[in-house]
Amino acid sequence: MKLTSRRHRATSAAALGSILGLVLAACTGTPGSSGQPTAGVPSPAPDALRVVATTTVLADMVQEVGGEHVSVHSLVPKGGEVHTFDPTPSDATTVADAQLLVMNGLGLDEWLGYIAADAGGGNIPVVELAEDLEGVTYLEGDEHEGEDEHEGEDEHEGEAFNPHLWLNVQYTILYVERLADTLIEVDPDHADAYAARAAEYVAELEELDSWAREQMATIPDENRRVISFHEAFPYFAQAYGLEIVGTVIDAPGQDPSAGEVTALIDAVRDEEAVAIFTEAQFPTTAAERISEETGVDIVGELYNDSLGDAPVDSYLGMMRWNVEQVVEALQ
């Protein structure tokens, strides 16, 4: 289990330090409801552990394991974008008041470490759910994610890995097991409850994974070559038998150049991709141009970093939705 205090870069610390100064001087607000997981949330007990997660996906996992013994807030709101998230003064206050911080790691949400450090949060426990998990085949990331995450640390030093492990349900089970261990360590008075809820959730995840594999197995072999919007789905593809032959954008927040769009159009034709999948929180302009030039349909809005409204207001619902969209499009 990785339970640490985060280091941070001085360049980002200065900016976030200014934010925190404004907060502590003039702000005592509480987190807004837009940052809370929404699916079947129990009312927290009076002594509930205050947990702050970076995304709604991770917050939902915390809620599933913690139940009434946790009060969970997601910094990136529903429909938000973790890659380009810009912390606010209210976020700094929320982090400073937390008793546990939950992040993905692998460069996806390193900004949480900057906030925690500048909030004087060196003593707040932090768990990075994706780091150094046994049994995971880490896939290569790009230069925009994880490039300095491993500076001076562990056996992955200097490497960049794709951080979207949770789109393989088997890897999410590893997240949940680490999360349960962390909650038990931080709040041992409720250890039995955490262990029991984690076991129930893992059983649901195992059922989801089996269903997903059965559904994905119905896709014809010749229809398994697709274009994704960005590098979020390699673990999904690896687990469930797709081949991603290209992505519309290199990194969130960076529109593709004309040359990159042209190269992708050529790749779609050469690789005989059968579908272009968009993502709910991103514009579709570039994908639409590629579709117009190649005749390959844009199909389905997939979810990855953020939950949405029902039926995608939980991790379980999000993954069911993604599988259903993919299977329907590729039959």
Comparing 298 with 192, the larger pLDDT belongs to: 192
Give the domain-ending residue among 147, 178, 212: 212
Q: What is the pLDDT at residue 91?
A: 93
Domain containing 247 equals 217-330
Instruction: Report the percent of the chain where pLDDT is more than 90.
Output: 60
Q: What is the pLDDT of residue 286?
A: 81
168 shares a domain with 116: yes
Q: CATH number, domain at 318?
A: 3.40.50.1980
3-state helix, strand, coil in the chain (%, to 5): 45, 10, 40
> Are 208 and 283 found together in one domain?
no
Query: Which residue, of 157, 182, 212, is where some domain finishes?
Result: 212
When the pLDDT of each residue in the chain is averaged and rounded to a whole number, the result is 84
When pLDDT is averaged across residues 227-242 and rounded to a whole number, the result is 93
pLDDT digits (tens, 9 = 90+) for 16-63: 343 333 333 333 333 333 455 444 568 999 999 999 999 999 999 999
Q: Which residue has the higher pLDDT, 7 or 164?
A: 164
Q: Could you give the CA distance from residue 290 to residue 147 in angstroms, rounded to a whole number?
A: 29
Task: Report pLDDT digits (tens) over 276-324.
Answer: 988 876 767 788 888 999 999 887 789 999 999 999 999 999 999 999 9
Region for 253 from its dihedrals, namely left if φ exceeds 0, alpha if ψ lies in -120 to 50, beta otherwise: left
- The beta strand positions in 47-161, using DSSP E, are 49-53, 70-74, 100-103, 126-128
- Looking at the structure, do residues 222 and 182 belong to the same domain, yes or no? no
Q: Which of 157, 189, 175, 146 is nearest to 64 (CA)?
A: 175
Q: What are the φ/ψ torsions at residue 90 (nearest 5 degrees)?
A: -65, -35
Q: Are 112 and 58 in contact (CB under 8 A)?
A: no
Residues 145 and 253: beta-carbon distance below 8 Å: no
331 within 8 A of 218, measured Cβ to Cβ: yes
pLDDT band at 7 (very low <50, low <70, confident <90, very high): very low
Pick from 178, 195, 212: which residue ends a domain? 212
Q: How confident is the model at residue 252, as a pLDDT?
A: 64
Q: Is the same domain home to 192 and 239?
A: no
pLDDT confidence of residue 38? 46
Q: Say if residue 101 is in the same domain as residue 167.
A: yes
Residues 140 and 182 grouped into a single domain: yes
pLDDT band at 9 (very low <50, low <70, confident <90, very high): very low
Give the pLDDT of residue 199: 99
Of residues 2, 304, 317, the one with CA closest to residue 162: 304
State the Cα–Cα distance between residues 57 and 37, nearest whole angstrom: 8
Looking at the fold, whether 64 and 141 belong to one and the same domain comes out as yes
Q: Provide the number of structural domains found in the chain.
A: 2
Same-domain pairing of 208 and 222: no
Whole-angstrom distance, CA of residue 108 vs CA of residue 42:
28
pLDDT confidence tier of residue 150, bands split at 50, 70 and 90: very low
Residues 141 and 236 in one domain: no
Shared-domain flag, residues 195 and 287: no
Q: Is the pLDDT of residue 178 over 60?
A: yes
